[in-house]
Structure formats: structure tokens, C-alpha cells
Amino acid sequence: MATARVIITLKKTIMDAQGQTVEKALHNLGYTGVSNLRIGKYVEMTVEGRDQERVEEMCRKLLANPIIEDFRIELEE
Amino acid sequence: MATARVIITLKKTIMDAQGQTVEKALHNLGYTGVSNLRIGKYVEMTVEGRDQERVEEMCRKLLANPIIEDFRIELEE
Amino acid sequence: MRMAIEPRMWRELGLSDEEYQRIVEAIGRDPTPTELAMFSVEWSEHCGYPRSRPLLALLPKEGKYTSPVEGGDAGGIEAAPGLTVLFKMESHNHPSQVEPFQGAATGVGGIIRDIFTMGARPIAVLDPLRFGELDQPMARYLFNGVVKGIAFYGNCLGIPTVGGELQFDDAYRGNCLVNVMALGVVRTDKIVSGRGTGVGNPVIIVGNSTGRDGIGGASILASHELAEDDEKRPTVQIGDPFTEKCLIEACLEALETGAIVAMKDMGAAGITCTTCEMSAAGGCGMDVELQKVPRREPGMEPWEILMSESQERMLLVAQKGKEDEVLGIFRKWGLNAVVIGQLTGDGLLRVRDNGEVVAEVEAKKLAEPPVYHLPAEEPAYYRACQAWDPSGLPTPKDMTAVLRDLLSSPNLASPEWVYRQYDHMVQTNTVVLPGGDAAVLRLKGYRQGIGVTADGNGRYCYLDPYLGTQLVLAEACRNLVCVGADPAGVTDCLNFGNPEKPDRFWQFKRSVEGLADACRFFELPVVSGNVSFYNEAADGAIYPTPVLGVVGVLEDVRRHCTAGFKRSGDVILLLGKTRDDLGGTEYLKHVHGLVTGRPPALDLDLERRVQRTCLEAVRAGLCASAHDCSSGGLAVALAECCMWGDTGARVTLPAGETEVRLDARLFGESPSRILISAAPDNAEKIREIAGRHGAPLELLGAVGGDSLTVLADGEPVIAAPVAELKKLWRSAIPRLMEG
Amino acid sequence: MTATAGKLRFGIVVFPGSNCEADTWHAIHDEMDAPVEYVWHEETNLDGYDCVILPGGFSYGDYLRTGAVARFSPVMGAVQEFAAKGGLVLGICNGFQILLEAGLLPGAMLRNAGQKFVCRYLHVRVETTDTPFTREMTKGAVLRIPIAHGEGNYYADPDMLAEMKEHDQIVFRYCTAEGESTPEANPNGSLDNIAGVCNRDRNVLGMMPHPERCTDPILGSADGRLVWESLLEVSRGDS
Ligand SMILES: Nc1ncnc2c1ncn2[C@@H]1O[C@H](COP(=O)(O)OP(=O)(O)O)[C@@H](O)[C@H]1O
Ligand SMILES: [Mg+2]
């Protein structure tokens, strides 16, 4: 048993409207030092065995859309 | 300048319906070994200085809703 | 640093060698790379319609209702005194096949901009959708993503999605069809044009910043290193409905000031298209500075800024001296708004990058692409299908089982799973909700209302594009009269394969001819439309699929009608006649696995008589319900009336149909038929109206009980509890989608 | 609270992404014939209004969480003060979500349990008539009213819920046409079928269903009128 943590973000070149709105809101709240804010998804799950490739496959097939998103995986026993 | 990464997840006591739906979809695709899948939000931003407390404040005020969500922060130069 | 133009470049941009020569002739020299890119998009089928224009000219522009717009982004009809309803349909097929959620979302965004760009407030969206069969995971993935994308965008804008269509067929497996129709209302005297006029007037870009989205083919112009780095140019556009919502409000507010001369939304080829078309339409020139355009990314080249398809942007021309008032409104809504140039009197579109002229062409030349008359050739399958003889087809024994089977097929099942996900009530105008024949919308402040529906039938059009398209128009109009709306205007979205293949072009040609002839017959103008060619996957083209959106007018919106049976004891009447029409039917495909035959014969004159009868009866308040017979035939239509009304019915098939096979009597798709239920006292009055219009009318039975029972020649042929049918019908799509 | 002689004066807050403000305006102005104005989200002064409405929509695109960003807009400070002074505040759908985020009402919204946006007519039961928003209703009455939301799955922790029950703060519950609060009648997974709640002082109400969408029978129901009639009765009571 291992824990997989996956972070899915929009590709850098793709506009992140959500992130921009939140960044603006933080500025309005006085947190003017914040920049480059981007929002993504986080998925945490228990998987059988420590099989990085299998998790990558799940990401490509279901969790992320490779056309617009990148993903990062952390696996831990 | 530092990079702050924030992971926001539903409190453990709250049922994560979205996570369950995705887990079921993975099972249907044949990834039967997956369990305890939970979905959260990921926020990445550049902040001025390495001020953990300030980022926590942003989380409490805007990024997370403490009634239903927990958050974790990673700060890195 | 000027790049030399090589044949490779124009060819990869989709221009032929002859076209390149024409460009050189048109401007009297070799184009710059930027100019070449501009010509390539303006002369593409997508923007310039060089292959379809000659045929589209056949479509009538006028009908019995006033259609006040000429040559705008959308057209419309005057639905109430001084009030125009603008509408248009567009496809977003290819983007949706690649990225269903964003593809569909930006499809909604694009068509909505076409509406408010003319000063109209968007009031409704419809979404005709086509995918492969739902037992395919890919089809489910696309279907789910598309519906989510439409919901995401439309719901956020606060524009109700009030209708649409759903079809699943292997023909769309590799190329789904995502068509979106939008409607808006505007006072007729306030319609805004896209014509740039007034030398010296400022040109303003508003809305989202410009990024490298959707540049696609033009990337051949990139310097080598960039071209390698594909990552830098996302071809998928991302929708930002919140910005679009602000854009709608800001544009409408800016128009109120009276300071706006012209407005144009950015769709394909963004700034190129808008600047060129605005200049050409207004007979003016334009001088714009690209460095003023708000950009999302550093280091964008001129042609990248010009070609970008970043969403949620508009181009405006304001009155000189009033620009600050206009800019202020956009800032209030938190939007970019920047003067990027002004109108000139020389007819030239002059584009500068930091002052340096990177393109200078006569706008008219760009906006006048060549015209091609492509060869058309009857496809080989056509004769064979026409010759099909149904006499060898076995007649099923258990017709109740056939009915159950049809009702649980995704093509006939309840589309509730889809429209529940759409806000279809926001704006509080939706008088008849989705699920029936057509949606009815009130027009606040007016007695009149409108009905709207979208229809298509790829199978009919494949088997006979001329007749098939006419059947689609007839059905759409029939849907409207059922709710009490008089058909008034048409928009089309013509989804076809590669027009350079003569058999595909034949399909297109016959379809447009059929549409033109039927529109003339019904006195309906085609007020707007869209052509989508090249809908082909590796395993062939889609069915030729013209999708029609039709808008009708209710003189008094309170006098509308819905499709479900209402009261026990009401009589059930059938307007029209059933014939031996099995070719191309849902029954033939679903039960016998055949896609062949001639589509049902259409008698336009009979169709008109049936529609006039229904409309008059509904307007007179005589009908408790009205529902047309279409896919699945009379039996399915009866079941739908029962399921919507949560009541049973007992009917007897007309006696005079002895030469018609039983399966055709139940499931055949003869057009020009409408099921009406009415209080027994009203039946005579309806008969009188039918008599006056010369429409056949039969008494079939009565509403009541918990079961649907159909008798033929004294024998019960269908008997089933309505609750059971309803369960099958409602759960079919959720079962496939949610597992 | 100073109700001007005659009718209650309504103010409808407009956030850039609101999309039910015009519907609400139409219901109050044209159907109920009561005075109503729009209040831009940058406004900080709510003097002159008796009832402030936060309408449905997607306030700031509802990116991140519904209502999260709206809560910090300038007008919300004024709404806090207005409510503290006893002014009537009604949050409908997105307005409810904003009131929760702002802490004016207890609890939080989760995504619908079915993971999908849901738009439909359904039934809610009136749980208390002891509010200015429901005084013209009958306890236990069933209203037919539309919903349209993706995040209406109401959540409160057990202590909060107990407290709300103790203070009669649950105003509407989803139910069947017959008035039963069954799981099947719950469209979004809301705790205890909750569709609307008020604060302890009873002058702030949040509800997911849209009363402005059913104020004219041509739209399928006029049950929403009861909310406006209750409010308009307030001013009559005061004058
Ligand atoms: N994709 C969709 N989106 C919204 N509504 C839909 C969709 N597909 C079908 N509907 C609605 O379901 C009802 C039945 O559709 P359909 O079977 O195509 O009707 P008809 O055969 O009368 O044209 C219509 O009210 C239609 O608007
Ligand atoms: Mg119909």
C-alpha cells in the first residue's frame, strides 16, 4: 500500500481565469505581494504497490487532460 | 521571493462525493486497487518574502473555508 | 527583418498556388508574412465561405415576418412591434472532439458574442448534439464533457439553455457535432452594425487579453525555434464565462450611451477578421497599432497577435471625443479597454508593430475571397438505398417489446439528464420548459412570445439530402405549431464532410437546394447560419447533417400548449395520415439494424394544412395538448404524451390504413402528423378547423387509466403501464452515463 | 429600521457576475408593484433600504468557491452593518452562499452530492413562519419552487445544527409534493434536507430555491409570491 498524491495544473501557456480572479481578490484584500497565482486540482489516494507508471496512466486516462493540463505525482509508502 | 504551494482538502469528517465518483470511475477503468481517493484544490503563487503566517492568513480568509476545509502550506525560496 | 515567402508557407497555411497568385495580383506585390497569414484566414472556408457561398445564395432572405438585418453577425425577425429577436447557430465540432469541456464552453461563448455584438440581450441557448453510440467509452466521455462545458459557460452567464437535440450514431464516432444556437432581443431601431464609419473615429479593443491561443496553422510563420516548441501555442481555447458576463453587461451599457458606432466580436482569426470586416463593410480604412493590444504573454509576434483566437474580446468603433466615456464603462466592469487605432478614409487596413507597418492591404480585397464552384457527384450508395424494398422485412410479434426497446434507446429516451444540468429558467421567461416539442419564451412587456426549436436528422439527409433537409424543416415547424407558435425564421448549421470530394459536395448541394425550396414554400427567411465542412474522421465522413433552428411567434404567449395529456376523458385526435414509411426510421435502425430506404415522403401542401389547423386550434384555446409524431412514430408519440402527463390512454389505430404494415402504422415516421387531445366539447370545433384547411383528422381514443393501450383492427397490439414505460425512458441515459 | 410610509424599499445588490438581479427586480417591481433599486457592489451605503437582497448568479465567476470572493466586496461591509442594525437581508441561491461565506448565516455549502448542476422545479416545506420572510405562509405548507445550482449541499457541524434547531433557524426543507422530507426529495445531499436557514435574530434569510422564478403563474407556479407578500406585510405592520 502506498499513498499517491497528484497535482494537476493547467499548462503554463493556458490562461487560468480562476487563478487571475483569486489573485485580484488577494490584492484587494491587501496582499499585494502575491503574483503568478495558479489554481489546480489535488488528488490523494491509496494505491496497491508503489507503481509510478500505473498512477501516471490513471492521470493520462482520467484524472488529467494532457491537452491542457500537466500533472505531478508523489508516491509514498 | 518565495513560492507558496497550498493544498486545500475537505475535512476528513465530510464525505467527499466528488472523490468517490472519481474512485468509482477508476475502478470501472480497471484500476481496482485504488481506495480512499479524495480531491482537493491546489494553489500555487509567488509571494514576497518567506512569511508562513501571512500565507496562512490568506488561507483562512479567502483560499479555504475553515468550516469544511483544511489546508497545508509549503513555502520554498 | 523580412522573411522571404516560400511556397511551403502558403501551402501550409491552406492556400493553393493559384490563390497565392491572386493575392499577389490583388495587392500588386508579394505579401509580407503577416499579410499572407491574414489572407489565409480571410479566404479560408471558415471565414470567407469560398466553397459554399454560391449555394448559400439560394436561401431566401425574406418571409412573411419582417427580418430587419442585412449582413450582420446574426439575423432575426420582428416578433413584436418594434422588437427583433436575433438568432444564429454555430458549430464547435472539432474543438469539442479534442477537448469536449472547453470546446463546448467556448462554443457557447462565441455564439453569444454574435448576438450581443448587435446590441441584443442574449435570452436563450439551444444545443443540438451528436456523438457516437453511448456504449463506447469515448462517446460517453465526449458527451459528458460537452454537457458539462455548456452548463459551465451558459449557467454562469445567466442565459437559459432551453432546448437542443441529442443523437447517437456510429457516424459521429470520430467527429462529434456540437452546435449551439443563441437568441437575443433588441429594439429594432437599436440594432448595432459591424460597419466602421467616420474617419478619425477611435478603434477600441475590449475584454480579455490576447494570448497565443488557437493560432494553429499559422504557426508555420514562426521562427524556427518557436515552431519546434509546440507547447507555446495551445490550440485549445479556454473559456472564461465570468469575463464574458461582464463583457455582455459592459457592451450593452456602452451602447446605451449612443457613443458606439460599430461593434464586432472576435471569433476565428480574432483581430484580423474584425478589423478587416469592419473596414470592408463600412467602406473605410483602419490604422491600428498592435503594441497597444493588451497581451498575456511577452514576445508575441505581430501575426500571432493578429491571428490569436483568445476568447471574450470585442472590437468597437466609438465616436471621436466620446472614447473616455466608453472606456470608463468597461473599466467599471473590470475589463481591459484600449484605443488601438482609428478609422481612415483610404480603405486600407494598416497594421503597425511599434510604428512599423507590418501589413497594409485594401480591406475589400481581404474580405472578397475567390469563389469556387466545386463538382458534385451522386454517391454510389444513394441509388441502392433508394431501391430498398421493405417487403422482405419481418414484422416483430411483440409490439409492446419494440416500444419498450425504442423508449430505452438513447436516441428516443428522455434527455432530462442533459437539460437538468442547464439553468433553463434564469431570466424568468421560460414558459414552456425543455422536454416538449419546442420551448416557449415570454417577451417581458409584450403580449407576444416566441417558440424555438432545433432539429436535425443525419440519417434522413444521408439517404436523401434534398428530402431529408425538407423533412427536418417540416418537423421543426411542426414542433412550433404544437406549442402555438407561427414559424417565422430559420437559422442553419450545415455540418458536412470534405466539400472537395464530389460525393460530399453533392450532399451539401442537394441539402441546401432542399432547404431553399422548402423555406420558399413556407415563406420563411434563413436569417443566419454557419457552414462546417471537413467533418470527417479516419473512417469516413459524418452523415450530412444540416441542423435547423426555427423561431416562431405566439400572438399571445398565454395561449400556448404543451405536449403531455392533461385530463382523463379528453379525446385523442390525429391530424394527418399514416403511410408505409419505414425508410430511414429509428425503428429500422434500432430494431433491424438497417440504415437504408427512402426517407418518409413529404407532401409540403399537406404539411402546411396540418400545421395551420394545429396552430389555429391551439390559438383558439381548443387543445389540451399537442405533440407531433417524429422519431419512433405514432406509438412513441403516444407514449410520450402519456409519460409527460402521467396518465394512460386507450386508442385505436385508424381503420383506413389497411395497406400499411402494422410496424409502419406504429413506428413508421410519416411526417405531417400531430396528436392532439381536447375536451370532448372542443373536438367538433377542431374538426371544423381541420375541414376548413383540408387536413385529415381521425378520432383515435381517449385519455385515462394507468396504461397505454393501442388497438389495431380490434386487437390490442400494445399494452403497458405508463409508469413502467416512464421508468425505462427516464433511466436509459443516466444508466449509461452513471453506471 | 425605518420603513418609509407605505411599501418596503428593496435594494438588490449587483455583483459583476450576478445574473438573477433583473429577475428579482422584475418580480418585485412589476409583479409586486413595490419600490426597488439596484445597488452596485462597490456601494458602501445602504441607507434608505428596508430589505437588501443578494441575488442569484456567479458573483465573481464563483471561481475558487461560490461566494468566497464576493464576500470581500465593498458592499458586504455595509450589508454586515445593515444586518447588525436589524435590516432585512435575503440571500437567494448565490446570495445564500455569500451570506454563509460572510458568516452572516451558519454553515457552509458543498458541491451537490450528485456532482452536477441541478435545475428543476421541486417542493419545499415551510418550517417556521416566525420570520419576516415567511409570516404570510402556513407552517408545514408545501411550496412548488425552482432550484438551479451546482453547490447547494448545505453543511453544518452537529453542534451548529443542534443550535439552529433549538433556535428554530431552519426555514425551508426539501420535501415531496406531499410534504415528506425523504432522501429522494433532497436534490443535492443537503444536511437534513435543509433548503433555507435564518440567523438567530431572524432578519437574515438564505435560501437555495428561487422565489423570483415563480412569482407569475405563467412560469408554472406563483408560490414565490408568498415571500414577497410576507416582506411587504412587514412594512404594513410597521406603519
Ligand atoms: N441537448 C439538449 N439540450 C437541451 N435540451 C434538449 C437536448 N436534447 C433534447 N432536449 C429537449 O428535449 C426535448 C425533446 O427533444 P427531441 O426529441 O429532439 O424533440 P423533437 O423530436 O420534438 O424535436 C426538447 O424539448 C428538446 O429541447
Ligand atoms: Mg417534436
Q: What is the pLDDT of residues C92-141, one digit of tens each?
A: 999 899 889 999 999 999 999 999 999 999 999 999 999 999 999 999 99
Please identify, by atom number, the ligand 1 atom nearest to the C-alpha of residue C476.
23
Q: Look up C424 and say whether it is catalytic.
A: no
Determine what percent of chain B is predicted with pLDDT higher than 90: 78
Q: Which residue has the higher pLDDT, D195 or D236?
A: D195
Which pLDDT belongs to residue C227? 42
First-to-last alpha carbon distance for chain C, in angstroms, is: 59
Which pLDDT belongs to residue A34? 95
Q: Look up D212 and say whether it is catalytic.
A: yes
Contact B18 D111 (CB under 8 A): yes
Extract the C-alpha cell encoding C69: 438585418
Q: Is the dihedral of CA D189, D191, D194, D197 positive or negative?
A: negative
D63 close to A (CB below 8 A): yes
Q: Is the dihedral of CA C470, C474, C476, C477 positive or negative?
A: positive
Instruction: Report, as an integer, the average pLDDT of D58-65.
Output: 86
Question: Crossing angle, helix C241-256 and helix A17-28, to 10 degrees?
Answer: 70
Instruction: Report, as an integer, the average pLDDT of D114-132.
Output: 97
User: In terms of residue numbers, what domain contains B60?
Assistant: 2-76
- Using the mean position of ligand 2's atoms as its centre, give its distance from the Cα of residue C674 in Å: 9
Question: Three-class SS of residue C80?
Answer: strand
Which pLDDT belongs to residue C213? 78
Mutate to test the pocket of ligand 1, among C166, C412, C479 (most ligand atoms within 8 A of CB): C166
Among chain C residues, CA nearest to A24: C334
- Banded pLDDT at D3 (limits 50, 70, 90): very low
Interval C494-504: pLDDT, tens: 999 999 999 99
Q: Which chains touch A (3 or more CB pairs under 8 A)?
A: B, C, D
* Per-window interface: C 185-214 vs A, CB < 8 A: 208, 211-213
Which ligand minimizes its atom distance to the CA of C440? 1
CA distances from C261 to C118, C275, C469 (A): 11, 14, 39
Please identify, by atom number, the ligand 1 atom nearest to the C-alpha of residue C437.
22
Which residue, among C541, C531, C503, C488, has the nearest Cα to C56 in the 3D structure? Answer: C531
Which residue, among C97, C135, C140, has the nearest Cα to C542 in the 3D structure? Answer: C97
Cα C232–Cα C236–Cα C242 angle in degrees, nearest 5: 110
| pLDDT beyond 50 at D239 | no
| pLDDT beyond 70 at C687 | yes
Contacts of C74 (CB under 8 A, 6+ apart): C86, C87, C88, C114, C115, C118, C120, C182, C184, C491, C527, C528
Question: Locate cell 452536477: which residue?
Answer: D116
| pLDDT beyond 90 at C40 | no
Give me the DSSP letters along C186-246: EEGGGPPP----STTPEEEEEESPB-STT-GGGGGGS-HHHHH-GGGS--S----HHHHHH
- Banded pLDDT at B2 (limits 50, 70, 90): very high
- D21, D101, D151, D212: the active-site residue: D212
- Report chain B's C-alpha Rg in angstroms: 15
Contacts of C394 (CB under 8 A, 6+ apart): none
Instruction: Report, as an integer, the average pLDDT of A15-28.
Output: 91
Q: How many domains does chain A have?
A: 1
Cα separation, C174 vs C94, whole angstroms: 10
Mean of the per-residue pLDDT values of chain C: 92
Q: Is the dihedral of CA C507, C508, C509, C511 positive or negative?
A: positive
| pLDDT beyond 80 at C268 | no
Give me the DSSP letters along D75-138: HHHHHHHHHHTT-EEEEETHHHHHHHHTTSSS-EEE--TTSS-EEEEEEEEE----STTTTTS-
Which residue, among C233, A27, D69, has the nearest Cα to B46 in the 3D structure? Answer: A27
Name every chain D residue with its beta carbon within 8 A of the beta carbon of A21. 60-61, 63-64, 69
| pLDDT beyond 90 at B40 | yes
- Banded pLDDT at A67 (limits 50, 70, 90): confident
- Using the mean position of ligand 2's atoms as its centre, give its distance from the Cα of residue C631 in Å: 8
Which pLDDT belongs to residue C215? 67
- Banded pLDDT at D235 (limits 50, 70, 90): low
Contact D58 C155 (CB under 8 A): yes
Which pLDDT belongs to residue D5? 47
Which pLDDT belongs to residue C175? 95
Which pLDDT belongs to residue C67? 87
Which residue, among C136, C17, C88, has the nearest Cα to C490 in the 3D structure? Answer: C88
Which pLDDT belongs to residue C637? 98
Suggest the residue from D14, D119, D145 to mutate for an interface test with chain C (most C CBs closer than 10 A).
D119
Cα separation, D67 vs D56, whole angstroms: 10
For A45, which of B36, B42, B46 is closest by C-beta distance? B36
Question: Crossing angle, helix C399-407 and helix C722-738, to 10 degrees?
Answer: 40
CA distances from C551 to B67, C490, C560 (A): 48, 6, 15
Among chain A residues, CA nearest to D71: A25
Edge-to-edge, what's the strand order for the sheet holding C571-575? C625-628, C674-678, C571-575, C697-703, C649-652, C707-712, C715-721
- Banded pLDDT at C221 (limits 50, 70, 90): low
Query: Would you give the DSSP letter of residue C714?
Result: T
Contacts of D85 (CB under 8 A, 6+ apart): D1
Contact C211 A11 (CB under 8 A): no
Cα separation, C53 vs C509, whole angstroms: 11
Instruction: Report, as an integer, the average pLDDT of C514-528.
Output: 97
| pLDDT beyond 50 at C226 | no
Query: Strands C526-532, C486-495: parallel, antiparallel or unpaired by DSSP?
Result: parallel
Name every chain A residue with its beta carbon within 8 A of the beta carbon of D63. 17-18, 21-22, 39
Question: For residue B35, what is the domain's CATH number?
Answer: 3.30.1280.10
Please tell me whether the overall predicted TM-score, pTM, comes out greater than 0.90 for this model.
yes
For C98, which of A13, A17, A67 is closest by C-beta distance? A67
Cα separation, C681 vs C225, whole angstroms: 80
Which residue, among C640, C627, C649, has the nearest Cα to C730 in the 3D structure? Answer: C640
Q: What residues line ligand 1, using a CB cutoff of 6 Å?
A: C 127, 129, 161, 163-166, 415, 418-419, 434-437, 455, 479, 630-631
| pLDDT beyond 90 at C233 | no
Which pLDDT belongs to residue C657? 82
Exposure b/e, D135-164, CB count within 10 A at least 16 = b: bbbeeeebbbbbbbbbbbbbbbbeebbeeb
Which residue, among C590, C618, C585, C603, has the nearest Cα to C686 in the 3D structure? Answer: C618
Cα separation, C313 vs C207, whole angstroms: 5
Length of chain D: 239
Instruction: Report, as an integer, the average pLDDT of B12-18.
Output: 91
Extract the C-alpha cell encoding D131: 420570520
Cβ neighbours around C355 below 10 Å, total: 7
Contact A17 C231 (CB under 8 A): no
Extract the C-alpha cell encoding D166: 433549538
Which pLDDT belongs to residue D4? 44
Instruction: Give the minimum alpha-carbon distance from D6 to chain B in angstroms, rounded to a whole number.
Output: 41
Contact C236 A21 (CB under 8 A): no
User: In terms of residue numbers, what domain contains D111?
Assistant: 10-234
Question: Locate cell 457552414: which residue?
Answer: C531
| pLDDT beyond 70 at D1 | no
Query: Are the C-beta atoms of residues C387 and C326 closer than 8 Å to each other?
Result: no
- ipTM metric: 0.93
Q: Which amino acid is at C636?
A: V
Query: Are the C-beta atoms of residues C282 and A57 closer than 8 Å to each other?
Result: no
D64 close to C (CB below 8 A): no
Cα separation, C357 vs C350, whole angstroms: 7
Which residue, among C650, C657, C656, C669, has the nearest Cα to C709 in the 3D structure? Answer: C650
Interval D6-31: pLDDT, tens: 679 999 999 999 999 999 999 999 99
Extract the C-alpha cell encoding D174: 426539501
Element (H, E) at A8: strand A2-10
| pLDDT beyond 60 at C225 | no
- Domain annotation covers residue D132: yes
In CATH, C561-739 is 3.40.50.300: no
User: For chains A and B, what is the number of CB pairs under 8 angstroms?
Assistant: 92
Interval C95-109: pLDDT, tens: 899 889 999 999 999
